[in-house]
Chain A
Amino acid sequence: MAAMSTNSSTPLDHIRNFSIVAHIDHGKSTLADRLIQSTGGLADREMSEQVLDNMEIERERGITIKAQTVRLHYKANDGETYVLNLIDTPGHVDFAYEVSRSLSACEGSLLVVDASQGVEAQTLANVYQAIDNNHELVTVLNKIDLPAAEPERIKDQIEEVIGIDASEAVLISAKTGLGIPDVLEAIVHKLPPPKSEGGEKAPLKALLVDSWYDTYLGVMVLVRIIEGRLSKGQTVRMMGTDAKYTVERVGVLTPKMVAMDSLGPGEIGFITASIKEVADTRVGDTITEDKRPTAKALPGFKPAQPVVFCGLFPVDAADFEDLRSAMGKLRLNDASFSFEMESSAALGFGFRCGFLGLLHLEIIQERLEREFDLDLIATAPSVVYKLFMTDGSERELHNPADMPDVVKISEIHEPWIRATILTPDDYLGGILKLCQDRRGIQIELTYVGTRAMITYDLPLNEVVFDFYDRLKSISKGYASFDYQITDHKEGNLVKMSILVNGEPVDALSMMVHRMAAEKRGREMCEKLKELIPKHMFKIPIQAAIGGNVIARETISALRKDVTAKCYGGDATRKRKLLEKQKAGKKRMRQFGKVEIPQEAFIAALKMGDE
Chain B
Amino acid sequence: MTAVTPFAPRQPIADDPLDPGFGVYVHWPFCAAKCPYCDFNSHVRHQPVDQDRFVAAFLKEMETMRRLTGPRTVTSVFMGGGTPSLMRPSTVSAILSGIAGQWHMPDGIEITMEANPSSVEAERFRGYRAAGVNRVSLGVQALNDRDLKFLGRLHDVEDALKAIRLAREIFPRMSFDLIYARPNQTVAEWDAELKQAVSYAVDHLSLYQLTIEEGTPFYGLHKAGKLIVPDGEQSAVLYEATQEITAREGMPAYEVSNHARPGAESRHNLTYWRYGDYVGIGPGAHGRLSTGGAKIATATERHPETWLSRVEENGHGMVDQEVLELSEQADELLLMGLRLTEGVDLARWQALSGHDPDPAREQFLIDHGFLERLGNSRLRCTPAGMLILDAVVADLAC
Nearest CB of chain A from residue B290's CB, rounded to whole Å: 14
- Beyond A536-B368, A578-B394, whether A564 also contacts B388 by CB under 8 A is no
Nearest CB of chain A from residue B41's CB, rounded to whole Å: 10
Any B CB within 8 A of the CB of A559: yes
- Beyond A536-B388, A578-B397, A582-B394, whether A564 also contacts B208 by CB under 8 A is yes
Any A CB within 8 A of the CB of B257: yes
Q: Which of B361-383 contact A (CB under 8 A)?
A: 364-365, 368, 370
Contact (Cβ within 8 A) B278 A579: no
Distance, CA A420 to CA B208, complexed state (A): 66
B60 partner residues in chain A, CB cutoff 8 A: none
- Beyond A536-B388, A558-B388, A560-B239, whether A569 also contacts B285 by CB under 8 A is yes
Contact (Cβ within 8 A) B387 A582: no
Contact (Cβ within 8 A) A568 B332: no
Any A CB within 8 A of the CB of B236: yes
Any A CB within 8 A of the CB of B95: no
Interface size on A, residues (CB 8 A): 26
Contact (Cβ within 8 A) A593 B364: yes
Distance, CA A579 to CA B398, complexed state (A): 9
Contact of B389 among A562, A570, A585 (CB under 8 A): A562
Contact of A560 among B235, B285, B332, B398 (CB under 8 A): B235
Any B CB within 8 A of the CB of A217: no
Any B CB within 8 A of the CB of A216: no
A593 partner residues in chain B, CB cutoff 8 A: 364
B285 partner residues in chain A, CB cutoff 8 A: 569
B370 partner residues in chain A, CB cutoff 8 A: 536
Any A CB within 8 A of the CB of B299: yes
B203 partner residues in chain A, CB cutoff 8 A: none
A579 partner residues in chain B, CB cutoff 8 A: 331
A318 partner residues in chain B, CB cutoff 8 A: none
* B360, closest chain A residue (CB): A593
Contact of B390 among A537, A561, A568 (CB under 8 A): A561
Distance, CA A558 to CA B206, complexed state (A): 25
Contact (Cβ within 8 A) B286 A578: no
B386 partner residues in chain A, CB cutoff 8 A: 562
Contact (Cβ within 8 A) A569 B278: yes
Contact (Cβ within 8 A) B286 A570: yes
Distance, CA A378 to CA B136, complexed state (A): 62
Contact (Cβ within 8 A) A571 B390: no
Contact (Cβ within 8 A) A571 B398: no
- Beyond A559-B236, A571-B336, whether A537 also contacts B257 by CB under 8 A is no
* B333, closest chain A residue (CB): A571
Any A CB within 8 A of the CB of B233: yes
Contact (Cβ within 8 A) B299 A566: no
Contact (Cβ within 8 A) B394 A567: no
A536 partner residues in chain B, CB cutoff 8 A: 365, 368, 370, 388, 391-392, 395
Distance, CA A104 to CA B189, complexed state (A): 85
Any B CB within 8 A of the CB of A565: yes
Contact (Cβ within 8 A) B391 A558: yes
A585 partner residues in chain B, CB cutoff 8 A: 394, 398
Interface size on B, residues (CB 8 A): 50
Contact (Cβ within 8 A) B387 A562: yes
Nearest CB of chain B from residue A597's CB, rounded to whole Å: 14
Distance, CA A564 to CA B232, complexed state (A): 12
B392 partner residues in chain A, CB cutoff 8 A: 536
Contact (Cβ within 8 A) B239 A564: yes
A535 partner residues in chain B, CB cutoff 8 A: 391
A567 partner residues in chain B, CB cutoff 8 A: 272, 339
Any B CB within 8 A of the CB of A574: yes
* A584, closest chain B residue (CB): B394
Q: Which of A552-610 contact B (CB under 8 A)?
A: 558-572, 574-575, 578-579, 581-582, 585, 593
Contact of B331 among A559, A564, A565, A578 (CB under 8 A): A578
Distance, CA A563 to CA B285, complexed state (A): 21
Contact (Cβ within 8 A) B232 A560: yes
Distance, CA A568 to CA B299, complexed state (A): 13
Any A CB within 8 A of the CB of B328: yes
B332 partner residues in chain A, CB cutoff 8 A: 571, 574-575
Which of A571, A579, A585 has the most chain B CB atoms closer than 10 A to its own CB? A571
Any A CB within 8 A of the CB of B393: yes
A562 partner residues in chain B, CB cutoff 8 A: 256, 386-390
Contact (Cβ within 8 A) B239 A575: no
Which of A560, A569, A579, A585 has the most chain B CB atoms closer than 10 A to its own CB? A569
Contact of B206 among A566, A571, A574, A581 (CB under 8 A): A566
Distance, CA A560 to CA B387, complexed state (A): 5
Distance, CA A298 to CA B177, complexed state (A): 92
Q: Which of A372-429 contact B (CB under 8 A)?
A: none
Q: Which of B265-323 contact A (CB under 8 A)?
A: 269, 272, 275, 278, 280, 285-288, 297, 299, 322
Distance, CA A567 to CA B297, complexed state (A): 16
Distance, CA A593 to CA B367, complexed state (A): 13
Contact of A571 among B181, B269, B335, B387 (CB under 8 A): B335
Distance, CA A582 to CA B299, complexed state (A): 24
B322 partner residues in chain A, CB cutoff 8 A: 572
Contact (Cβ within 8 A) B335 A582: no
Nearest CB of chain B from residue A313's CB, rounded to whole Å: 23
Distance, CA A581 to CA B297, complexed state (A): 21
Contact (Cβ within 8 A) A537 B387: no
* B40, closest chain A residue (CB): A566
Any A CB within 8 A of the CB of B353: no
Contact (Cβ within 8 A) B208 A572: no
Distance, CA A4 to CA B386, complexed state (A): 85
Distance, CA A535 to CA B368, complexed state (A): 12
Contact (Cβ within 8 A) A560 B388: yes
Contact (Cβ within 8 A) B387 A565: no
Any A CB within 8 A of the CB of B211: yes
Distance, CA A82 to CA B208, complexed state (A): 90
B288 partner residues in chain A, CB cutoff 8 A: 569, 571
A537 partner residues in chain B, CB cutoff 8 A: 368
* A580, closest chain B residue (CB): B394
Nearest CB of chain A from residue B135's CB, rounded to whole Å: 16
Which of A535, A537, A565, A574 has the most chain B CB atoms closer than 10 A to its own CB? A565
A582 partner residues in chain B, CB cutoff 8 A: 394, 397-398
Contact (Cβ within 8 A) B208 A565: yes
Any A CB within 8 A of the CB of B209: yes
Q: Which of A525-559 contact B (CB under 8 A)?
A: 535-537, 558-559
Distance, CA A559 to CA B389, complexed state (A): 11
- Beyond A560-B388, A561-B387, A593-B364, whether A571 also contacts B256 by CB under 8 A is no
- Beyond A562-B388, A563-B211, whether A568 also contacts B335 by CB under 8 A is no
Contact of B286 among A558, A563, A572 (CB under 8 A): A572
Distance, CA A585 to CA B181, complexed state (A): 30
Any A CB within 8 A of the CB of B54: no
Nearest CB of chain A from residue B230's CB, rounded to whole Å: 10
Contact (Cβ within 8 A) A569 B287: yes
Contact of B272 among A559, A561, A569 (CB under 8 A): A569
Contact (Cβ within 8 A) A566 B287: no
Distance, CA A568 to CA B297, complexed state (A): 14
- Beyond A560-B388, A561-B388, A571-B336, whether A566 also contacts B235 by CB under 8 A is no
Nearest CB of chain B from residue A535's CB, rounded to whole Å: 8
Further pairs besides A559-B388, A562-B386: 12, Cβ < 8 Å: A560-B232, A561-B388, A561-B389, A564-B181, A564-B208, A564-B209, A564-B257, A569-B278, A571-B336, A572-B299, A582-B397, A585-B394
A-B contact pairs, 28 of them (CB 8 A): A536-B388, A559-B232, A559-B233, A559-B387, A560-B233, A560-B239, A560-B387, A561-B388, A561-B391, A562-B256, A562-B387, A562-B390, A563-B209, A563-B211, A564-B209, A565-B208, A566-B208, A567-B272, A569-B286, A571-B286, A571-B332, A572-B322, A574-B336, A575-B331, A578-B331, A578-B393, A581-B390, A582-B394
Closest 3 CB pairs of A and B: A560-B236, A562-B389, A564-B209
Partner-A contacts on B (CB < 8 A): 25, 80, 177, 181, 206-209, 211, 232-233, 235-236, 239, 256-257, 269, 272, 275, 278, 280, 285-288, 297, 299, 322, 328, 331-332, 335-336, 339, 364-365, 368, 370, 386-395, 397-398
